[in-house]
Amino acid sequence: MKKLISVGILGLLLIIGSISATCLTLDDNNSEKSIMNCCKPPYNDPPVTSIFYNPETGMVILIAEDYPIHEGGVKATYYKIDGGEQQTYTGPFFIGEGTHTVEYWSVDNVNNEETHKTATFTFDSTPPMVDITSPEEGKLYLFGSQIMSTFSRGTLCIGKVPVVAFADDGDGSGVSMVMFSFSNGDSGYDDDGTNGFTYLFKDMHFGALTITAVAIDNIGLTSTPDSMTLDVYNLGLI
Ligand SMILES: [Ca+2]
Ligand SMILES: [Ca+2]
C-alpha cells in the first residue's frame, strides 16, 4: 500500500512538473507572470452570432455568444440588409416584403471581430396573380390549334381545349401551382410553369364552358381567380 501511494505521489509530481515546464516555456516575459496567467488560453477568439428567422412574421433575431464569458464578452452585434447601411442590433427586426440578404457579425470587448456571415430570407404576404392566356378571347380553335386570328362571334373551340395560364408572384416565394376548374365539373392543376401553366380539357362538351384559374404561391396564398367563357364542341373521343 505504501509503495502504491509513493508511486501515486511521484506520478502527480511528474504531471505538475510537466505542466510547469510547459507553462514556463510559454512565458516569454520571464518571471513576471504567474503560472496561472501563463497557462490561460488565448482570448483572441471572436464572438459567434446565430441568426433566426420567422417566415410568418418576417422578423429576424440575432444571438451572439463570446467564450470564455469572463474574458471578452460581446460588445455589439451589427447587421446590414441587402448591403445597406450598417446598423447596431438592438432587437428583432423586420426584413420587409420579398427576398432579402442579411449580413451580420459581432465584436467582443477586446475588439475581436467575427467574420461577417450572410443569410437570405423571403417574406411573402402578397398573393400571386394569374391570367388565362389561352384560349384567347375572340379566336377560333380547331382540335387544339388556333386557326383564325379573329373570330367575330366570341371564342369557339372545336375539339379539345388547350388551356394556358400565366402566373407570377413578383419577388415573393414563387408560384407553386395553378389550379383549373371548369363549369362542367372537370378540374386539374399544373405545378410546373416552365412553359406556362397548362391543362388540356378533353371532356365531351357542347355549348358554353367557363374556365377558372387560381394560382397558389409557395406560402399558400391564393390569387384572385381569372375566368373566361367560350363555346366548346368536343366529342371527347380522343
Ligand atoms: Ca472573445
Ligand atoms: Ca406571394
pLDDT digits 0-9 by tens, 81-117:
999 999 999 999 999 999 999 999 999 998 999 999 9
DSSP state of 68: S
Q: Are residues 137 and 221 in the same domain?
A: yes
DSSP state of 31: G
Note whether residue 179 is domain-resident. yes
Q: Are 170 and 124 in contact (CB under 8 A)?
A: no
What's the CA-to-centroid distance between 121 and ligand 1, angstroms?
Answer: 28
- Tell me how far apart the alpha carbons of residues 105 and 49 are, in angstroms, rounded to a whole number: 6
Note whether residue 23 is domain-resident. no
Structural domain of residue 182, as residue ranges?
Answer: 129-234
What's the CA-to-centroid distance between 168 and ligand 2, angstroms?
Answer: 8
pLDDT for the residue 42? 57
Q: Are residues 97 and 158 in the same domain?
A: no
- Tell which wins on pLDDT, 224 or 219: 224
Q: Are residues 142 and 60 in the same domain?
A: no
Q: Are residues 146 and 228 in the same domain?
A: yes
Provide the CA 207 distance to its chain's centre, in angstroms: 46
Q: For the chain, give percent helix, strand, coil, nearest 5.
A: 15, 45, 40
Ligand with the closest atom to the CA of 114: 1
pLDDT in tens, 3-31: 544 444 444 444 443 433 333 334 444 44
User: Residue 205 forms beta bridges with which residues?
Assistant: 234
| Cell numbers standing for residue 166 | 400565366
Note whether residue 33 is domain-resident. no
Last residue of a domain, one of 123, 151, 176: 123
What's the CA-to-centroid distance between 216 and ligand 2, angstroms?
Answer: 8
pTM exceeds 0.85, yes or no: no
What's the CA-to-centroid distance between 133 and ligand 2, angstroms?
Answer: 21
Adjacency order of strands within the sheet including 48-54: 48-54, 59-65, 93-94
Kindly report the CATH number assigned to the domain that includes residue 80. Answer: 2.60.40.10
pLDDT for the residue 237? 77
- Of 128, 161, 130, the residue nearest 229 (C-alpha): 161
Note whether residue 152 is domain-resident. yes
pLDDT for the residue 151? 56
In the chain, alpha helices (H): 2-26, 35-39
Give the pairing type, strands 226-234 and 156-158.
parallel
Given a cut of 50, whether residue 35 has pLDDT beyond it is no
pLDDT for the residue 102? 98
What's the CA-to-centroid distance between 177 and ligand 2, angstroms?
Answer: 12
What's the CA-to-centroid distance between 61 and ligand 1, angstroms?
Answer: 21
Given a cut of 90, whether residue 122 has pLDDT beyond it is yes
pLDDT for the residue 149? 65
Count of domains in the chain?
2
- Tell which wins on pLDDT, 61 or 40: 61
Note whether residue 92 is domain-resident. yes
- Tell me how far apart the alpha carbons of residues 73 and 68 are, in angstroms, rounded to a whole number: 8
Given a cut of 70, whether residue 37 has pLDDT beyond it is no
| Cell numbers standing for residue 25 | 516555456
pLDDT for the residue 131? 97
Q: Are residues 97 and 140 in the same domain?
A: no
What's the CA-to-centroid distance between 75 and ligand 1, angstroms?
Answer: 10
DSSP state of 160: -
- Tell which wins on pLDDT, 188 or 7: 188
Q: Which residues are CB-neighbours of 225 under 8 A, at least 6 positions away?
A: 130, 212, 213, 214
pLDDT in tens, 123-181: 999 999 999 999 988 888 888 888 876 556 789 999 999 999 999 999 899 999 999 99
